[in-house]
Amino acid sequence: MKSFFITATDTDAGKTFVACALTQALINSGKKVAVYKPIAAGCYQVGEQLVNEDAQLLSQFANCKQSISDVNPIALEEAIAPHIAALNENRKISIDEISQGFSKVTSLQADINITEGAGGWRLPIYINNGLGNDASKHIFLSDFAQDTKQAVILVVNMKLGCLNHALLTYQAIIADGLECIAWIANNASEQPMAYLSENVTSLEQLLPIPKIAQLDFYHEQSMSLKDKINAAATKIDLSHLP
């Protein structure tokens, strides 16, 4: 069983889009894939449940039977930094809670587990304000990836500033003792950045890992989001993945 953690240079970079496309590409190659979105901020109420669009989309692509709360155990209502949303709900997010949710995912015995992070690599999930008798340290979502020793895939949103963000993210992953196994150049906005191909080439030279896809922005009104993700799935080169 393999576990890939999808991170990105920033929020809105295309983690969900790419995680779904990668899930579909792996399924097309005959694999059983389970998905996980441990923390989502920005949810809507469905009956008793808070539901998040990323988790819904991921579960539509995966081919394991997973309930929406198993895909996304920590669903926070406000679309803000998760640790602040949690504070507003008088809730403390712990790595234990995230790890327990991950154990449920791994118990499905899929060939591959795909976890979508939240925000970028160093996303705080709990900040110790130094007051009171709370002896715990600051906690980041990257601590979970570290504890579970996941192979990381980096989604780079190709826009001005992405070279710096991509390199810093790559270096932080390596400094955390994890392997960053591949990167994907994603165009998450309609207008491509100036000198796109030169920037992609620069990243190919700077990042010592394979680029497994270069995704255009799919702007066709006639295509559903699912169709766009299916089209993106055909662009992913799985040969570099373990």
Ligand X SMILES: Nc1ncnc2c1ncn2[C@@H]1O[C@H](COP(=O)(O)OP(=O)(O)OP(=O)(O)O)[C@@H](O)[C@H]1O
Contacts of 217 (CB under 8 A, 6+ apart): 187, 188, 189, 190, 192
Residues pairing with 140 in the sheet: 124
Strands 44-46 and 2-8: unpaired
Binding site for ligand X (CB under 6 A): 8, 11-17, 54, 119, 186-188, 215, 217-218, 225, 228
Shortest Å distance, C-beta 79 to ligand X: 8
User: What residue number has its CB nearest to Mg ion?
Assistant: 16
Q: Given the residues 31, 32, 37, 235, select the one marked as catalytic.
A: 37
Tell me which H or E stretch contains 7: strand 2-8
Residue 231 CB, nearest distance to ligand X (Å)?
9
Pairing of strands 33-36, 124-126: unpaired
Q: How far is the CB of 8 from Mg ion (least distance, A)?
A: 8
Note whether 83 binds Mg ion by CB under 5 A: no
Q: Least distance from C-beta 42 to ligand X, angstroms?
A: 7
Question: In terms of CB distance, is 50 or 208 closer to Mg ion?
Answer: 50
37 annotated active-site: yes
Nearer to ligand X, 90 or 191 (CB): 191
Binders of Mg ion among 9-68, rule CB under 5 A? 15-16, 54
Measured distance CA(106)–CA(79) in Å, rounded: 28
Residue 51 and residue 43 in contact, taking contact as beta carbons nearer than 8 Å: yes
CB nearer to Mg ion: give 35 or 139.
Answer: 35
Nearer to ligand X, 15 or 83 (CB): 15
Q: What does the alpha-carbon distance between residue 93 and residue 82 come to, in Å, rounded to a whole number?
A: 9
- Among candidate residues 59, 72, 64, the one with its CA nearest the CA of residue 226: 59
Contact between 186 and Mg ion per CB under 5 A: no
Tell me which residues touch Mg ion (CB under 5 A).
15-16, 54
Residues that are catalytic:
37
